[in-house]
Structure 1
């Protein structure tokens, strides 16, 4: 099945990027810890990184890909290139303007992002780091644009590989900072510069890939053509709908800035649940939209429904076990990964609590990536935007309420994470029921039977993970980094093996099914 191979291609490269991202964050935790400097850097990185996730991980392309596919279908390759070139011209004008304005107004922008950073020294270093990082936004917007073109042409590999460069550059930057013996503030400054360099590297890679794919882009004078106007009409609600999870996280960061260390603890927790979300959710969001657009354009409604059901299965198969592990054994995951250097046992406990709260929402975050393309492929971005707006209200109200409720226990950041998960479920359920009402999604019998099997396998995984964690408790918490890492590997391997066995026995999915899926064209 071509769709399965596309999922695997995007997922594999995303997995490589996220694994390198963990290595990067382990180094950041060791060098910066979880204090004022790390809070400042994470806020600085959050803004351009938000746009990376909004654009590079599918929200911008929710509007661009269907229109680019239509232009190629109706006007041929030349028509597609004309439309893409006009979009590129407008995109460059917009990015230059936004970047220049943001650099001038950066102190105000930082106060909007982190109003709790009222102390002059914290505000000053945050402004400095954000000014250095911010051009990354422009580079990643171009990467997203180039990726949309390549994905429409069914070329997923290079676009999926591009994020790997970010982590390679940042890891090299951190090693350079350590080699130079820089203090935390100096290391954060150098790291901010690495973010900008990484953006340029990714944009250059994708531009070369576009040229090799035979797509010739020009820079015509920007004009408001009918297709460009249609892109704007679809794109604004598309970005709001497709990126609502990231918008909610930013809202959480704003609220977390009022509690010292909360931004950093949420960041490290976010990195953990973003691993399965990136591998599964991004793979689905990127690969599913072009496939649905092509099928619906050809009138293959039955094929579109089949694709949606299999994407749902794929999401459940890989998300349920990950969510179960994050909820049940978060401390055993956080300690081996982050507890070293400036990152203390107390930091690990605070981060683990947020990981568990995010874990409850992980299936919802991924299902949003499954359901949203069904709207986008039909050029309906308004409905998901409305649902996203409801979700955002729930998130903001919940973050403030839960944070205030848990603040006396020093767990305000956990309340923020819990509100983000609640908002994710609200959004996912609204999208799902909307598709059911419109008849644009009909669960088939195979989906129901396999879903039950995945639930049973996840329950077995929970039992296995708890038993292994209890048996290796001494290795996790008392024997040093090396033994804690070995214990984590044993727990992951043992739990995954139990999950696979139950999936096979229950008939949910087996090795033969997976092999057949990837061999079938």
Structure 2
């Protein structure tokens, strides 16, 4: 009997290993859960150590601005670099030179951007927020302290995307854990001396450690030579052109959280913090379901598209969306039903006000309404990225910005803070429907197969 069970498990294991995409999705999801799971704990420690106050409002608002600046570049580069590297490898090109140019040019451009941003942001914030003078000054000081994170996040995203293109998923997936651990240790050791400033110091220190680890891994694997260069060749120009469409779209998309926090500041002290805490709760299932999953999908779909063509991509997309839709619907319903004990367990300790647990809970429920369409939309976004169709992502970004502002105004009148989260959910539904429609009406190349390059792709 024991031998039969062992034989069955061994056969199942062997079948999983042979199905590369499924295996990489499972393994990468596990590594990402470990890697990002530590980072998702940070807001809970902040809630226990700092509670809800004007200072936490200042930090979370600041973090939202910096995340907006970095994410519009980091997310785009980490994803769009994958099909480019797949193409360069298929053509026996120099991947190291390509990546080194991206690092050098992006670093120089972002340094200029950050300096300009710090010069103009303070008078702008005094016009669009309702923070008092003390909180506004704190926001500006925190911005200066955490601003190096913009360049660091983009550089780590370049390296993560490069390793993913080589199907080296483990270390990139685990690397956020190193950042988070350094961050938590820094906050714990220095919080009594520097207050909320310690959170900014922790994020910067953690990202530096993460960057050093990724560089060390690339050198050890010796998959390509890494450096800093500033040569704007034809491949870099093409990359920047294709990436620019998505970057413009990401500017619009990532404006939505900033707009949400700005409009939340109109609802009184503590509202920005509550919105952030609810958003972090939503990020836990979202990260678990998508982080490793989307990484493996993009890497494998890019290889398959250049090998087998558009019909294979359509078939893969149909299978993945059917499975994901059922799983995400079940997860969303489960979390909605048990949201109260989960919120109490997560925040019902330390200096966190018990009266605000109800607000966090209902705001989280409103976020969860859009969980399933958001996950399906992300899958269709990866399909568009595989074929380098970034224009549609730019178009969606502008539509979503207009829709989010309109819905925020309307829903805040009836639901207050949860109305902002509900607006995000309606935007997620539009995200899925729009990307599905545009992809289904696209004409894809019937085949990209090249027998000379088949081994390189596999």
Fold agreement, TM-score > 0.5 = yes
Q: What's the counterpart of residue 193 of structure 1? A: 201
Rounded Cα–Cα distance in structure 2 between residues aligned with 1:97 and 1:144: 19
Instruction: Look up the SS of the partner of 1:154 in the other structure.
Output: coil
| CA deviation map 1:113-132 (0-9, x unaligned) | xx324411010111111211
Matched ranges for 1:101-500 at <5 A: 101-108=116-123, 110-111=125-126, 115-177=128-190, 181-182=192-193, 186-214=194-222, 215-220=224-229, 222-241=230-249, 246-259=254-267, 260-403=269-412, 405-406=413-414, 411-438=415-442
Match of 1:19 among 37, 51, 66: 37
Task: Give the conservation status (yes or no) of the 8 Å contact 2:253–2:398.
Answer: no
Q: Is contact 2:70–2:151 with CA below 8 Å preserved after alignment?
A: no
1:212-269 Cα distance to aligned partner (Å, 9 max, x none):
231102333x343222221122112223546876442222112112222111111111
Partner of 1:99: 114
In structure 2, C-alpha distance between the alignment counterparts of 1:336 and 1:55, rounded to whole Å: 35
- Note the C-alpha offset of 1:317: 4.8
- Residues 25 and 173 (structure 1), Cα distance of their counterparts in 2 relative to 1, 3 Å cut: same
Q: CA RMSD in A?
A: 2.4
Task: Give the 3 Å change call, closer, same or farther, for CA 87–250 of structure 1 in structure 2.
Answer: same
The list of structure 1 runs, each at least 4 consecutive aligned residues, that deviate by more than 6 angstroms after superposition, is: none
In structure 2, the CA distance between the partners of 1:265 and 1:396, relative to structure 1 (3 Å rule), is: same
Say whether the 8 Å CA contact 1:30–1:342 is kept in structure 2: yes
Residues 51 and 140 of structure 1 are in contact (CA less than 8 Å); yes or no, is this contact kept in structure 2?
no
Of 82, 88, 93, 1:71 maps to 88
SS of structure 2 residue aligned to 1:60: helix
How far is the alpha carbon of 1:63 from its aligned partner?
Answer: 2.5
- Partners of 2:79 and 2:161 within 8 A in 1: no
| Offset of residue 52 of structure 1 | 5.4
- TM-score, structure 2 length as denominator? 0.86
Deviates more, 1:197-206 or 1:316-325: 316-325
Residues 297-306 or 255-264, more deviating = 297-306
Q: Is the 8 A contact 1:284 1:369 kept in 2?
A: no
State the shift of 1:333 in Å. Answer: 1.2
In structure 1, C-alpha distance between the alignment counterparts of 2:441 and 2:256, rounded to whole Å: 26
| CA positional deviation for 1:53 | 4.6
Partner of 2:64: 46
Q: Residue 396 of structure 1: CA displacement?
A: 1.2
The structural deviation recorded for 1:366 is 1.2
Q: Distance in 1 between matches of 2:331 and 2:249?
A: 24
Alpha-carbon displacement from aligned partner over 1:461-491 (angstroms, at most 9, x marks no partner):
xxxxxxxxxxxxxxxxxxxxxxxxxxxxxxx
Quick one: distance in 1 between partners of 2:347 and 2:398? 35
- Alignment partners' CA distance in 2, 1:3 and 1:248: 33
Residues 86 and 219 of structure 1 are in contact (CA less than 8 Å); yes or no, is this contact kept in structure 2?
A: yes
Contact 1:59-1:241 at 8 Å conserved across structures:
no
Alignment gaps of 5+ in structure 1: 441-520
Q: Which stretch has the larger CA shift, 283-292 or 264-273?
A: 283-292
Distance 1:202 1:110 in 2: 31
